[in-house]
C-alpha cells in the first residue's frame, strides 16, 4: 500500500545503507536482522539509525501484497526476524503457528500505543503483534473534474466518468468496493452476494481506465483521472502534491485496516527483533515514519506533534462517525477460493 516516487528514493537510500554497511568492512560478528515490509513503508534513514544505534546489520526486503508475503514465509527458506502484515493476514499466521509471541516487557515504548489499537480482533490479547500504521480505503477525486458530492461508491459506476476511473489492482479491495456498494459485508462468504459483486465489477470495467497499484499516485497527481480507489495514506501524499485532490469515505462504509509488526516463527534473532519493534515505537522514529509515508499512527506522542490540520483531515484521522460502516478484513479460510475465481473472471475479460 504505498507510494512510488518516494519509494524509489527510499529504496535507493535503504539499498545504499545496506551497501555501505557491506562495503564498510562490517565485522563478521555483527548480528544481521532481516526485516520484511511493504514497499516504501518506512522513513528514509530509520534503518541506518537502527544499525548505528544497536551495531546490527539490517537486510531489508519488501513485498507488494499480504498474499505474496504469506506465500514466501509459508514456503520456508526465508528467515525474516520482523514482518509487517495486515490484520486478517496476522490472524491467519497466528492460526497457522507462523509467528512468535512478543515479550512486551522488551517493548517499553508499547506504552505509547493508543488503547483503541490494542486488543484488536486479530490479536485480542496483544500477544503476537505491535501496531505500526492504520487507515481506510476510500475515493480520491479531482475537484476540477468532479463537481458533485463524492459520498457513495456509486459514482465509480457513473458513465460520465468514462475512462477517468482507476480501480485498485487488488482482489480483496476491489471486490470489497462492489460488496459495500451493494450493501453487503466485505467479508461475505455468501456465493450469491459474491456473484452480484462480480457482475457489478464486470459491468463497471468498460468505464475503468485501469486497475493499478502504486502508479495511481502519479496518475492522479498529474490529473490523468477524475476518481480513484486508494488507501488513505496514499491519499494524504497525493493531496500534498496536488491541491485539487480530495478524499472521501463513502457512506456505505469501507475497509478499516491495521498493519502491525510481528516476529515470524522462523526468526533467528528474537531479542534483536524485539529491539527493532521497540525502536519503531520510539516517538522520534515513529514521527519520522509517519511524516515520511503519510499513513496514520497509533502512537499517542506522535499525534501530539503532528500538524493540527492533518489531525482534522478525513484522509488521515477520520472520526468515528466518518468511519461508520467500515469493517476490518478477516481471514476468509477456504472461501478465498471463491474470491480468486471471480477476480480471475473479472480481470480476464
Diameter over CA atoms, the chain: 63
Alpha carbon distance 236, 204 (integer Å):
26
Return the ∠ at Cα 247 (arms to 66 and 86), rounded to 5°.
15
**Distant-in-sequence, close-in-space partners of 97: CB < 8 Å, separation ≥ 6:** 265
The β-bridge partners of 261 are 130
The β-bridge partners of 83 are 36, 262
Residue 279: closest CA among 95, 47, 33 = 47
Burial class (CB in 10 A: 0-12, 13-18, 19+), 91: buried
Q: Is 132 annotated as a binding residue?
A: no
Return the ∠ at Cα 162 (arms to 160 and 166), rounded to 5°.
120
SS3 content of the chain, % helix, strand, coil (to 5): 45, 20, 35
Q: Are 88 and 271 in contact (CB under 8 A)?
A: no
Q: Hey, how many other C-beta atoms are within 10 angstroms of the C-beta on 209?
A: 18
Return the ∠ at Cα 136 (arms to 130 and 140), rounded to 5°.
145
Alpha carbon distance 152, 148 (integer Å):
11
Q: Are 313 and 249 in contact (CB under 8 A)?
A: no
Rounded to an integer, what is the distance from CA 238 to the centroid of its chain?
A: 16
Q: Are 66 and 86 in contact (CB under 8 A)?
A: yes
Q: Hey, how many other C-beta atoms are within 10 angstroms of the C-beta on 163?
A: 11
H/E segment holding residue 53: helix 46-54
Q: Which residues participate in the annotated binding site?
A: 88
Which residues are known binding-site members for spermidine?
A: 88
Amino acid at each position: 500500500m504505498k507510494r512510488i516516487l518516494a519509494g524509489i528514493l527510499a529504496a535507493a537510500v535503504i539499498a545504499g545503507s545496506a551497501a555501505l554497511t557491506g562495503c564498510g568492512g562490517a565485522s563478521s560478528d555483527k548480528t544481521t536482522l532481516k526485516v520484511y515490509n511493504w514497499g516504501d513503508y518506512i522513513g528514509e534513514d530509520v534503518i541506518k539509525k537502527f544499525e548505528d544505534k544497536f551495531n546490527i546489520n539490517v537486510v531489508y526486503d519488501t513485498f507488494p501484497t499480504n498474499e505474496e508475503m504469506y506465500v514466501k514465509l509459508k514456503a520456508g527458506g526465508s528467515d525474516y526476524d520482523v514482518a509487517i502484515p495486515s490484520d486478517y493476514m496476522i490472524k491467519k499466521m497466528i492460526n497457522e503457528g507462523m509467528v512468535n509471541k512478543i515479550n512486551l516487557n522488551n517493548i517499553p515504548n508499547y506504552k505509547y500505543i493508543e488503547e483503541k489499537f490494542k486488543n484488536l480482533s486479530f490479536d485480542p490479547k496483544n500477544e503476537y503483534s505491535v501496531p505500526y500504521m492504520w487507515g481506510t480505503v476510500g475515493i480520491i477525486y479531482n475537484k476540477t473534474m468532479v463537481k458533485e458530492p463524492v459520498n457513495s461508491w456509486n459514482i465509480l459506476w457513473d458513465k460520465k466518468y468514462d475512462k477517468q476511473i482507476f480501480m485498485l489492482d487488488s482482489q480483496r479491495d476491489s471486490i470489497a468496493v462492489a460488496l459495500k456498494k451493494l450493501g453487503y459485508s466485505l467479508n461475505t462468504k455468501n456465493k450469491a452476494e459474491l456473484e452480484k459483486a462480480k457482475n457489478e465489477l464486470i459491468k463497471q470495467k468498460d468505464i475503468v481506465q485501469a486497475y493499478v497499484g502504486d502508479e495511481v499516485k502519479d496518475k492522479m497527481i498529474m490529473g490523468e483521472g477524475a476518481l480513484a480507489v486508494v488507501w488513505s495514506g496514499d491519499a494524504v501524499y497525493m493531496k500534498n502534491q496536488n491541491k485539487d485532490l480530495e478524499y472521501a469515505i463513502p457512506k456505505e462504509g469501507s475497509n478499516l485496516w491495521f498493519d502491525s509488526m510481528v516476529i515470524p516463527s522462523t526468526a533467528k534473532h528474537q531479542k534483536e527483533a524485539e529491539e527493532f519493534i521497540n525502536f519503531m515505537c520510539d516517538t522520534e522514529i515513529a514521527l519520522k515514519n509517519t511524516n515520511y509515508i503519510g499513513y496514520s499512527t497509533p502512537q499517542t506522542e506522535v499525534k501530539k506533534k503532528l500538524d493540527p490540520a492533518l489531525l482534522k483531515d478525513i484522509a488521515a484521522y477520520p472520526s468515528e462517525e466518518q468511519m461508520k460502516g467500515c469493517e476490518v478484513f478477516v481471514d476468509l479460510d477456504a472461501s478465498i477460493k471463491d474470491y480468486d475465481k471471480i477476480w480471475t473472471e473479472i480481470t480476464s475479460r
